[in-house]
């Protein structure tokens, strides 16, 4: 591990790998609906940060592993803190989709 590694944010590519290998986990995209429609990771659920309270409709079990991302990592950081304060116990910020190298799905 290099001296400056702590300055780097989470790696979404590693996070998505971990999500895929974690049984029963949810990939949560907290960008706005239009951002999500213009390109998202297949299998992700869109709950915008602005309406994060509605996450309980999609994820009822507070122990479900949640992998949270946005565009650059800022909103997912806020969302992670909010989800923890809502009682979710297994929440991980995996950063921003802007550095994602995998397949992207677009809603037309």
Rounded to the nearest angstrom, the gap between the alpha carbon of residue 62 and the centroid of all alpha carbons in its chain is: 16
**Local confidence band at 10 (pLDDT 50, 70, 90 cut-offs):** confident
Q: Model pTM greater than 0.95?
A: no
Considering the four listed CATH numbers 3.30.9.10, 3.40.250.10, 3.90.950.20, 1.10.10.60, the one that applies to the domain covering 5-99 is 3.40.250.10
Model pLDDT for residues 73-106, shown as the tens digit of each residue: 999 999 999 999 999 999 999 999 999 999 999 9
Burial 35-56 (b: 16+ CB within 10 A, else e): bbeeebbeebebbbbeebeebe
Whether residue 11 is predicted with pLDDT greater than 80 in this model: the reply is yes
Q: Domain boundaries in the chain?
A: 5-99
In the prediction, which pLDDT does 1 show? 46
Model pLDDT for residues 31-82, shown as the tens digit of each residue: 999 999 999 999 999 999 999 999 999 999 999 999 999 999 999 999 999 9
- The rounded distance, in Å, linking the Cα atoms of 11 and 8 is 8
């Amino acid at each position: 591990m290099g001296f400056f590694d702590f300055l780097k944010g989470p790696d979404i590519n590693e996070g998505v790998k971990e999500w895929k290998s974690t049984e029963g986990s949810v990939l949560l995209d907290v960008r706005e609906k239009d951002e999500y429609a213009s390109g998202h990771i297949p299998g992700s659920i869109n709950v915008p940060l602005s309406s994060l309270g509605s996450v309980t409709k999609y994820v009822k079990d507070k122990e479900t592993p949640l992998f949270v991302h946005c565009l650059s990592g800022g909103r997912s950081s806020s969302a992670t803190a909010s989800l923890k304060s809502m009682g979710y116990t297994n929440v991980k910020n995996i950063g921003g989709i802007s550095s994602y190298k995998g397949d992207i799905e677009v809603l037309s």
